[in-house]
Amino acid sequence: MNGNMRLTRIMGIDIDIHFTFFLLLILFFFLFGPKGLALIIGVFIFVTIHELCHSLVAMRFGVKVKRITLLPIGGVASLSQMPTKPYQEFLISIAGPLSNLVVVVVFYYPMCWLLGRDVLMYPLMVILGRAEYTGQLNVWAHVYWINLLLAGFNMIPAFPMDGGRVLRALLSSRMSYRDATKIAVRLGHIFALLFAYFGIVYGHIFLVIIAVFIYIAASNEISQVEMVETIKSYSVQDVLATEFVYVNRETPLFKVLEMTFHTHQEDFPVIEEDKLVGFVTRREIIYGLHEKGKDAKVGEVMRTDIPPIYVNTKLHIVQKLMQKFNTSAMPVIKEHHVAGVITLNDINRVYVMMHEK
């Protein structure tokens, strides 16, 4: 996501902050002064701890954590992939809310001792309607109780909350992954509608924004899972074009450009003496034409880090590899010879065709 600023790095994980987060700081500063600022910072320290706990458990299962991004609506840990085993997803998902619950339990007596029980309990009493709100704000007490809110909110058993993943993991043991996802997503939609309803009725705009976010994120989850499930039954040879063209290191870029117009192929294997020596995608061609001119050679811009894939590779694996190598196309080989090019569009087409009824 763009608009991020590197804040710090903890245990090898970048902690990024989205620029809109600063709008939240400014808003709270104007509403509550320096105390408002301290409140937001305090809350986000615990949001970061929450995300770090997800990340640490994920890393134990060999999942790479790229970064943690702090957004005004909360934190997001970007995992390279979700583990396939339900119990791993269960443990990763529950670690976040659990960390907030641990904070609530462990700090209860120290906070009572520091602030006095009345001051500590006051925010909770206000929320429960047992005490009148007097405009007083004890930042420490608020930040403490936010942990209970974080634990509670995230354990709502619906996508995209952590509780939704926990629910899916539990359901996965007795039904398909896809059906389990469907249930958690449908619950996400129901909660989103409930939040929107209460947000509108009680005039809490923030709740409406959260509702919209939950609805969209829940929908994304099911389309992602359905895509993987659909393309799982197909392999590269099912969609590979029967004809393809290739280039060599010495081919000038303007020739390659002409080829894209004549063949509708936008990514080309670079072949020399019947061997694959590189790969150029649309991105390298455009970059080369702009930066090096039309007479530049393929060899100057080709990529050598994209591995060829075998014709019998399943499409969902290809999709993952494309993400890993940051490319929208890959060369395909069959019996040691280049057999063509597979693109993200080829994969998407399978999904679209299977869902058009």
The contact set with Zn ion (CB under 5 A) reads 96, 154, 162
Q: How far apart are CA 43 and CA 53, in angstroms?
A: 16
The two tokens of residue 185 are 């997503």
Least distance between Zn ion and beta carbon 50 (Å): 5
- The three-class DSSP label of residue 68 is strand
Least distance between Zn ion and beta carbon 10 (Å): 16
Least distance between Zn ion and beta carbon 159 (Å): 12
Query: Which one, 98 or 329, has the nearer CB to Zn ion?
Result: 98
Query: Which one, 89 or 162, has the nearer CB to Zn ion?
Result: 162
The two tokens of residue 261 are 């117009």
DSSP label at residue 245:
-
| DSSP states along 331-352 | EEEETTEEEEEEEHHHHHHHHH
Q: How many residues comprise the chain?
A: 357
Least distance between Zn ion and beta carbon 100 (Å): 9
Which ranges in the chain belong to alpha helices (H)?
20-32, 34-60, 86-106, 108-115, 117-127, 139-154, 162-172, 177-201, 205-231, 236-239, 253-263, 282-291, 298-301, 315-324, 344-355
- The three-class DSSP label of residue 74 is strand
Q: Is 280 exposed, middle or buried (0-12, 13-18, 19+ CB in 10 A)?
A: buried
Query: Which one, 146 or 285, has the nearer CB to Zn ion?
Result: 146
Least distance between Zn ion and beta carbon 220 (Å): 16
- Torsions phi, psi of 297, nearest 5? -95, 155
Query: Which one, 218 or 285, has the nearer CB to Zn ion?
Result: 218
Least distance between Zn ion and beta carbon 154 (Å): 5
Query: Which one, 55 or 265, has the nearer CB to Zn ion?
Result: 55
Least distance between Zn ion and beta carbon 161 (Å): 8
Query: Which one, 162 or 266, has the nearer CB to Zn ion?
Result: 162
Least distance between Zn ion and beta carbon 58 (Å): 11
Query: Which one, 154 or 327, has the nearer CB to Zn ion?
Result: 154
Q: How far apart are CA 72 and CA 335, in angstroms?
A: 52
Query: Which one, 94 or 185, has the nearer CB to Zn ion?
Result: 94
DSSP label at residue 135:
S
